[in-house]
Chain A
Amino acid sequence: MARVLEGVRVIDISTSPGGAWCSRMLADYGADVVLVEAPGGHPLRRIGPFADDGTSIPASYLLANKRSATLDLDAAEARRRVVALCRRADIVVSSHAPSRLAAWGLEYASLGNPALVMVHVTPHGMTGDLSEVPGNDLTNAARSGWASINGAQEREPLKPSGWQSSMCGGTVAYAGAVAAIRWRDAHPGEGQEVDVAEVEVMAAAFAPAFLRSVYAGSSHARRDSADLMAGPVPVQDGHFALTLSRAHFWRDAMNLLGLPDLAEDPRWGASFYRQAHKDEYVDRVTAAMSTWKKMDLFDELAVRRVVAGPVMTMEELRGVEHLRERGFWRAPRDAPDGPEYPGPALRMMGTPATLDRRPPRPGEHTAEVLGMTTEGA
């Protein structure tokens, strides 16, 4: 099977989830990724939840498909080896602040490889007065605007769950890395740095709420509790989102829910009118929904081609036949009897993502990786 990044050598010196996801994507599309881990192991390995055997589950997900070499960047000899690895590499992924790279002598200019693509995935970017300031998904949520609109107005702002800014930052950094490699294909020897700030990626994802607020002259607020148009509401066996955007969604959903007067009144066909007159129907619609089971309501609305969203748990998603038909869950090729991992974000039919390697043990490939540097040095 063809691979987009066949033969591309990546050295990952990052220590953040965003850097890890960037290099995981590079690996999924065929690059040979060597993860450089400090002697205590990648920081993700200490983050829970943990499987029964004590391994970090986030580390398993984010570090899979890579090889691992234990090399202490704080030790001169190991650092020399890392520099040698970077000189032979096509891409280096870093999550470190400028001063940290400078202290190690691992800035782009010091690596002495003008064909190298060096991708920085950091909270705030490599320039500016926040470049040395620590950040994480919580602070990215705060500084990007997302926390200000997530959650309920009567409570504290809410960050997106998990590592969304890291994952989006890593995804955009992957895109930037591939764009830079493609550039170099056409312009041999022309490497470059790609600087992706997670907070900026999340600000970009916030662009619609941003401009809506700018045009309106007032900031978009968090939602009132139990707002039908804003998110899931209770049904008999869980929660269900009915975000009715087009006129026929509204009409068909109201008929199904036994509210024909709401279905047939043409005023309700326009979404701006519905938004402005929420109080006139929200209680009735919510009450009608509450007697349904979520998957029954989903099935009936699907037949009517109305967008609808039952809140699904991981157990329920594991049971969805559709995802199995599409081959979404798959075990690593080198551990076919091991656990199944959730699949790639999308399917490239000509050059599919593959999961070839289970997550490495710390330093599992140190010897073979260093053999490679000796040979190349």
Chain B
Amino acid sequence: MTMRNEAAGLTLTGPLVGTRGIVLTQAWAGSYCTALLGMLGADIIQVEVRKRPDSWRGDYAAPITGRIRDVPTAVHPWNVSALYNSVNLNKRCITLDLGTPEGIEVYRRLVPHADFVAENFSPRVMGNFGLDYEALKALKPDIILASLSAYGHEGSWANIPGIGGTIEPTSGQSALLGYEDGPPMNSGQMYPDAVAAFNAFGAIIAALRHRDRTGEGQYIDLSMQEANLAMIGDSALEYVLTGRQRPRLGNRHTTFAPHGIYAAAGTERWVALAAETEAQWAALCAVAGRAWAEDTRFATNADRKANEDALDAEIGAWTASEDRDALAARLSAVGIFAAPVLDALELAEDARLRARGVVRVVAHAEAGEWPQVTIPLHFSRTPATEVRPAPLQGEHTRQVLAEILGMSDAEVDKLERLGVSGMGPPD
């Protein structure tokens, strides 16, 4: 399914073409949820407040660093933020100061043109704007509103603020992440936000189906704590059933060995490998050419699990002189779980992700042309193929307000004069 919006110069593809979200999302969880919907063809109009810009655009005064500094068009730090640009593909961005009556009025006029609204403010904010679910429903009876917050909109912790880096500990995730002999850790990049985004993405699609069939909208209340606890629900159920807290396992598996990441030849070259079946173990012994198969410590999976430290030491001694990629390929070819540990720049060049269209070069008006991770779903009948760069702050205000509300340039000029709209730091 493809839909062309000539006036906006925009092509929408994918199963959600024909739907529209006018959203107040920010940072990672909310923004990425709505970007995913946009990548499936929904028309996503992101509303941003210049006085309190999206925190992932960074500070207005932040220095431009790295390779971006050498791009001549990269002049506004808030438009060339890697964090913002990574999770806001396939959106249009308008600016409206929701702290002003004029800004709220324009937003209220937009709502009837939306199928869904999503937001990830602290729970009190939408009410303060006069934009809670009941208010939105009065404007559009079948509206879908998804709220993503730290602890949800109901319950005694509802007003406690949180972000990915604090939800990771309070959801039980951090207690499970870490080396077998080490302290609890957080992930390298606030993983709980991604979990919230994926779940809210599915929920909004489900709510759209329900709306289409019944004419009923609904409210979706996502607590990042709950979403992340659900993702380790087997560990939660383990505690319920046995009273035991699962220990940190490093790279190990609850049941199988070997299961680890081992140093290969060179600096920061690592290979992941695991064997779950006896056939995989036999194949691993054959590839390694070591006498492990005859070693009684490693005779069965139970033996290998019981002697896992010794097993890991043996494997590590072997891999240390092996080429990472060649070894991973040899192991994969004989049916063993194996992979090179790729870092971000290697991922950017990964031929497989490029061949499947997941990593693509995206041209951004200020940041230039760089590889980005795009759409992680492949539909055979309704392919979602169109990728647009993250919007500049306020890039589409004039276009969207004209297209949806029929506002004239003079009317938008007035909003800009009042400081309700515009681009960049407020005066």
Q: State the A residues within 8 Å of B (CB).
A: 2, 4-5, 25, 29, 46-49, 51-52, 57-58, 60-62, 108, 124-130, 133-136, 138-152, 155-164, 167-168, 171-172, 174-176, 178-183, 185-186, 190-197, 200-201, 203-220, 222-223, 230-232, 234, 239-241, 243, 245-246, 270-272, 302, 305-315, 317-318, 320-323, 325-326, 328-329, 339-351
Contacts and interface: CB of A to CB of B under 8 A. Distances in A.
A326 B66 contact: no
Nearest to B237: A61
A219 B268 CA distance: 11
A27 B338 CA distance: 33
A322 B156 contact: yes
When A and B form their complex, which 8 residue pairs have the shortest distance between CB atoms, in order from nearest?
Answer: A149-B188, A350-B218, A309-B166, A243-B165, A213-B344, A231-B186, A175-B202, A192-B381
B200 A346 contact: yes
A134 B338 CA distance: 8
26 contacts: A4-B210, A48-B255, A145-B342, A145-B344, A158-B261, A161-B173, A168-B194, A175-B377, A200-B353, A207-B86, A207-B373, A211-B82, A215-B367, A216-B82, A230-B188, A232-B169, A239-B183, A243-B163, A270-B62, A309-B165, A314-B172, A322-B155, A342-B237, A346-B221, A347-B223, A351-B210
A146 B187 contact: yes
Given A197-B358, A246-B55, A349-B218, 11 more contacts: A128-B355, A138-B274, A185-B213, A214-B371, A215-B80, A241-B169, A270-B62, A307-B165, A309-B165, A326-B226, A342-B237
Interface string B51-85: 00001001101110111100000000000101101
Contact of A241 (B166, B216, B270): B166
Given A136-B337, A216-B65, A272-B59, A147 B261 contact: yes
Contacts of A130: 332, 352
B172 A313 contact: yes
A84 B199 CA distance: 32
B156 A321 contact: yes
Most chain B CB neighbours (cut-off 10 Å) among A48, A178, A196 = A178
B226 A2 contact: no
A315 B234 CA distance: 14
Nearest to B71: A215
Contact of A133 (B213, B332, B358): B332
Contacts of B244: 49
A237 to B, nearest CB: 13
Given A155-B179, A159-B261, A138 B61 contact: no
B101 interface: no
Nearest to B151: A322
Nearest to A190: B381
Interface residues of B, number: 161
Contact of A239 (B68, B169, B222, B270): B169
A146 B346 CA distance: 12
Contact of A210 (B201, B225, B348): B348
Contacts of B170: 309-310, 312
Interface string B157-170: 11111110111111
A195 to B, nearest CB: 4
Contacts of B202: 25, 171-172, 174-175, 178
Contacts of A320: 157
A130 B229 CA distance: 31
Given A125-B356, A350-B219, A232 B206 contact: no
Contacts of A212: 82-83, 86, 344
B272 interface: yes
A292 B67 CA distance: 42
B298 interface: no
Contact of B216 (A2, A145, A185, A347): A2
Contacts of A152: 179, 182, 185
Contacts of B67: 214-217
B356 A128 contact: yes
Contacts of A4: 206-207, 209-210
Interface in B334-375: 335-348, 350, 352-353, 355-356, 358-359, 367, 370-375
B186 to A, nearest CB: 3
A52 B373 CA distance: 44
Nearest to B152: A326
Contacts of B356: 125, 127-128, 197, 200
B259 interface: yes
Interface in B187-212: 187-189, 191, 194-195, 198-203, 205-210, 212
